[in-house]
Amino acid sequence: MKPIRHYQLVLALGCATALCAFPEGGATAAEVEGVRVWRSPERTRIVFDLDGTVVHHLIRLDEIGQLLIDLEDSSLAPAFPEAPGPNFGDGPVTGLRVVEAPRGNLRFAVELAAPVAPSGFVLPPIAQYGDRLVIDLYDIVVEPPAAAEDMAPTPAPEAIAPAPLPGETPPAPPRDVIVAISAGHGGEDPGAVVGRDYEKDINLAVSRYLFERLADSEGFQPLMIREGDYAVALRRRPDIAREHRADLFVSIHADAYRASTASGMTIYALSGDRADRENAARVARKENTVDLIAGVDADLRLGDFDDDLALALVSVHMGWSMEQSRIAGEHILRAAGEVTKLRRDRVQQASLAVLISPDIPSILVETGYMTNPAELAKLTTPGFQRRLADALAVGILSYFDERAPEGTLVAWRKANPGQNADQYLGPANEVDRLAAELMESAPR
């Protein structure tokens, strides 16, 4: 996790200004009871806790580095905390304060060190939360100007590797197997809550131990989908895995059930019905150029193909991904059965949004039941969290020992003691060949 510079800024909310007065005569639609801020690597989320629903407006003042958030017919609750203010992390937001607003409205000014792309929505009450107004401020990633590249010094000729001789292929260095670890929930989404224990914390702790264990394993590079206590949208999670070319996506959760007797680990993979629906939806969305699947040498843009071929392509990938998800899940269940009870000893099927990647085997691990007192006691204990994570890691290593993706150090190590590493064809290679055949046989 990268170090974060903390700006512990105080919310300037003195009641010296007239805007703190309640609007005369007019009914106040909502009172703002508090503000919470969550910083994730790609956005800053500001959550206003309200006692009712509001109409809001966002006013961008990019020239002066401000964003105004207007809440119609609203006011600060008497109990609104004045200090300490929220922690904005290392993002572009540097401050948040109440400023003067048109009559009846409550106006917050967000101070910005860099422009952001704002988006706001309201949420109805759920669990311990009441009405909320959520403002997401997405970082705007500025590409370095092309000119900068031109100005870069040209490497000296002797720095260039000698060209391979005719007929000689330069060996590509074997790469690491990349495992994306998605700690469920986070930030304002606690997941299951039992007493003072939040599922999001258990998920993150187990995920961190799993990360440590895989980072220690030669040929493996783990990736945390969330590294701290913040929310990452369900649909965004597999996209992050894809951006990093993950070979496996593992989502970590803890279960809750009304009966306290329920116990044990369950592993889920995507159901066939949901897979069919997602495949069709991907093809229907083909005008959306970000809908890619990783394939033959490069990403495939589904919009480049006619519908029948696009559907066939996605289905080939999805079929492979689902089969691999099941196999990976079985390996993990075998290892986990040594340290905890299994609720089901086979991989279960479920319709879950985080598992829809057609090109990355994806599983969801429910580590145990928080509603079972004995299991909750274990799930919140670092020693057990570590043993559980170790077992998950053993299962993952065992899966990749059997099905090492082509081009990885793991595949090379496996193939080398025998005969020739070049002869090894991993499952990813097989599906690429199938997809390539499909593309060649079909008209464009």
Give residues in contact with Zn ion (CB under 5 A).
Answer: 184, 191, 253
Residue 346 and residue 410 in contact, taking contact as beta carbons nearer than 8 Å: no
Helices then strands, each counted (H, E), the chain? 9, 19
Closest by Cα among 351, 277, 363 to 315: 277
Residue 39 and residue 92 in contact, taking contact as beta carbons nearer than 8 Å: no
Q: Which residues contact 34 (CB under 8 A, 6 or more apart)?
A: 48, 49, 77, 80, 81
> Least CB distance from residue 343 to Zn ion, whole Å?
15
Q: Which residues contact 418 (CB under 8 A, 6 or more apart)?
A: none
Give the residue with the Cβ less far from Zn ion, 184 or 186: 184
Give the residue with the Cβ less far from Zn ion, 91 or 184: 184
> Least CB distance from residue 242 to Zn ion, whole Å?
22
> Least CB distance from residue 253 to Zn ion, whole Å?
4
> Least CB distance from residue 364 to Zn ion, whole Å?
9
Place of tokens 């407006």: 57
Q: Would you give the distance in Å from CA 241 to the centre of its chain?
A: 8
> Least CB distance from residue 186 to Zn ion, whole Å?
10
- Report which residue's Cβ sits closest to Zn ion: 253
What burial class does residue 274 get, using C-beta atoms within 10 Å of its C-beta: 0-12 exposed, 13-18 middle, 19+ buried? Answer: middle
In degrees and rounded to multiples of 5, residue 267 shows phi and psi of -120, 135
Give the residue with the Cβ less far from Zn ion, 109 or 204: 204
Give the residue with the Cβ less far from Zn ion, 44 or 385: 385
> Least CB distance from residue 31 to Zn ion, whole Å?
32
Closest by Cα among 226, 290, 220 to 252: 226
For the record, the structure tokens of 24 come out as 């005369």
Give the residue with the Cβ less far from Zn ion, 179 or 254: 254
> Least CB distance from residue 124 to Zn ion, whole Å?
20
Furthest-apart CA atoms within the chain: distance in Å: 87
Pairing between strand 362-369 and 266-270?
antiparallel
Place of tokens 């922690």: 87
Alpha-carbon torsion 197, 199, 204, 209, what sign? positive
Place of tokens 């004045």: 82
> Least CB distance from residue 271 to Zn ion, whole Å?
18
Give the residue with the Cβ less far from Zn ion, 234 or 409: 234
Give the residue with the Cβ less far from Zn ion, 369 or 412: 369
